[in-house]
């Protein structure tokens, strides 16, 4: 029996509706009126190396073109854990397909072989003059997480057994979600928003420590270098810095409204002892004064500050940072091993 037929039989027990591409038929089950979505499967974009799993692309979690996700579902007789990947790109680029091909395909297969589903999210990007800034992207990922929980039966996942993995902007998104208190809206008319945003763990690669550039990057991460906001603006451009907070000019940036906005995205200040365990790795850049866009965004000292603030807040964490390495307490645990460990706990 092939993979698609097997999962279709499993669907009968779950009283969901699945579209199976073997025969283009749709199987309707007794409680179909309770089904939230109809999954459509496609060929996997990566070599699954014999792992029994299906791939469902471009599932919409909101009304926008960008608000979609793909998911790999291992064939399992019981609900599985789930890793949600959030891509990087400075909140101005990137795509959910980053984990395909040579980037993370082996790691996806490793997770699937441990009966762990893998989803990968797209989200709306920052556009100059849109007045929304990075919170637009962050809140999209929040809704993506909540929507996946909302359709957990259709995906055959355990919605209380979810971990996050992200790179660069995706890593800082994962940290933002994990450091906030539960963002569910219990009384919302939108049932998706009633779902929890709490997860069991987060793995961060080449992350930012905070999205409050002025307070945290200048005051903590790069403090010893004497880096100024003008230094960052000179490298990345004033437009990029201001639009990050929904502003277009220096006058708009220097307002109480933007100061309050920056507080909403200061993950270091949001950390508290009830937050999930953090795995963090920033080893791609040098340990010297940041002078390039990449070194501002991915400096090893971002991970250093995450560890320092997490320790102070009582949040469990494992970290490796520096180039050359300055600190490593991972004991060889890579992010895949971390994610598997958290799912199994």
Helices 169-179, 134-150: axis angle to 10 degrees equals 70
Instruction: Kindly report, as residue ranges, where domains of CATH 3.40.50.1820 are found in the chain.
Output: 46-344
How far are the Cα atoms of 133, 161, 219 from residue 38, in angstroms, in the given order?
A: 33, 23, 49
How far are the Cα atoms of 88, 216, 333 from residue 208, in angstroms, in the given order?
A: 11, 10, 21
Ranges assigned E (strand) in 23-123: 25-27, 39-40, 53-60, 68-74, 80-86, 116-121
3-state secondary structure at position 323:
coil
What CATH number was assigned to the domain covering residues 46-344?
A: 3.40.50.1820
pLDDT of residue 34: 59
What are the tokens at 25? 């038929």
Dump pLDDT digits (tens) for 241-257: 999 999 999 999 999 99
Where is average pLDDT lowest: 25-29, 131-135, 150-154? 25-29
What are the tokens at 258? 């933007």
3-state secondary structure at position 275:
coil
What are the tokens at 298? 């991915």
pLDDT over 50 (residue 2): no
* Cα separation of the two ends of the chain: 32
pLDDT of residue 3: 41
Q: What is the pLDDT averaged over residues 307-325?
A: 98
Helices 335-344, 105-113: axis angle to 10 degrees equals 20
Dump pLDDT digits (tens) for 160-216: 999 999 999 999 999 999 999 999 999 999 999 999 999 999 999 999 999 999 999
pLDDT over 60 (residue 129): yes
Q: What is the CA radius of gyration of the chain?
A: 21
Dump pLDDT digits (tens) for 257-277: 999 999 999 999 999 999 999
- Report d(CA 160, CA 179) in Å as an integer: 17
pLDDT over 60 (residue 236): yes
What are the tokens at 60? 């919409």
b/e string for 1-20 if b means 16 or more Cβ within 10 A?
eebbeebbebbeebebbbeb
| Of 236, 240, 256, 260, residue with least CA distance to 248 | 240
b/e string for 166-202 if b means 16 or more Cβ within 10 A?
bbbbbbbbbbbbbbbeebbeeeeeeebbebebbbbbb
- Report d(CA 122, CA 143) in Å as an integer: 11
CB 279 within 8 A of CB 333: yes
129 phi-psi bin (left φ>0, alpha ψ -120 to 50, beta other): left
Residue 87: burial class (beta carbons within 10 Å; 0-12, 13-18, 19+): buried
Dump pLDDT digits (tens) for 98-122: 999 888 999 999 999 999 999 999 9
CB 207 within 8 A of CB 168: yes
Sign of the torsion formed by the C-alpha atoms of 236, 241, 243 and 249: negative
- Report d(CA 202, CA 277) in Å as an integer: 7
């Amino acid at each position: 029996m092939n993979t698609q037929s097997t999962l279709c039989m499993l669907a009968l027990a779950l009283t969901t509706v699945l579209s199976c591409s073997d025969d283009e038929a749709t199987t309707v089950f007794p409680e179909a009126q309770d089904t939230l979505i109809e999954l459509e499967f496609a060929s996997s974009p990566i070599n699954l190396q014999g792992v029994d799993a299906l791939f469902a692309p471009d599932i919409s979690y909101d009304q926008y073109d960008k608000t979609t996700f793909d998911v790999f579902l291992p064939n399992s007789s019981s609900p599985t854990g789930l890793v949600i990947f959030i891509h990087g790109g400075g909140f101005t680029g990137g795509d959910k397909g980053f984990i395909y091909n040579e980037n993370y395909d082996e790691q996806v297969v490793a997770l699937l072989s441990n009966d762990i589903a893998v989803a990968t999210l797209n989200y709306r990007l920052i556009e100059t003059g849109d007045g929304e800034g990075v919170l637009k992207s962050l809140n999209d990922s929040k809704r993506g997480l909540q929507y996946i929980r909302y359709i957990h039966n259709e995906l055959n996942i355990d919605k209380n057994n979810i971990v996050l993995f992200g790179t660069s902007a995706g890593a800082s998104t994962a940290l933002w979600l994990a450091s906030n208190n539960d963002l569910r809206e219990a009384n919302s008319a939108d049932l998706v928003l009633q779902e929890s945003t709490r997860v069991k763990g987060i793995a961060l690669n080449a992350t930012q420590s905070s999205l409050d550039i002025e307070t945290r990057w200048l005051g903590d991460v790069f403090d010893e270098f004497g880096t100024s906001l003008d230094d960052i603006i000179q490298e990345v451009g004033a437009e990029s810095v201001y639009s990050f907070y929904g502003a277009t000019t220096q006058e708009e940036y220097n307002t109480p409204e933007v100061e309050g906005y920056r507080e909403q995205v200061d993950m270091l200040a949001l950390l508290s002892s009830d937050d999930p365990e953090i795995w963090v790795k920033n080893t791609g850049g040098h340990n010297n004064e940041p002078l390039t866009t990449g070194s501002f965004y991915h400096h090893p000292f971002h991970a250093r500050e995450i560890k320092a603030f997490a320790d102070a807040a009582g949040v469990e964490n494992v970290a490796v940072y520096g180039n050359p390495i300055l600190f490593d307490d991972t004991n060889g645990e890579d992010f895949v091993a971390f994610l598997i460990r958290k799912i199994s706990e």
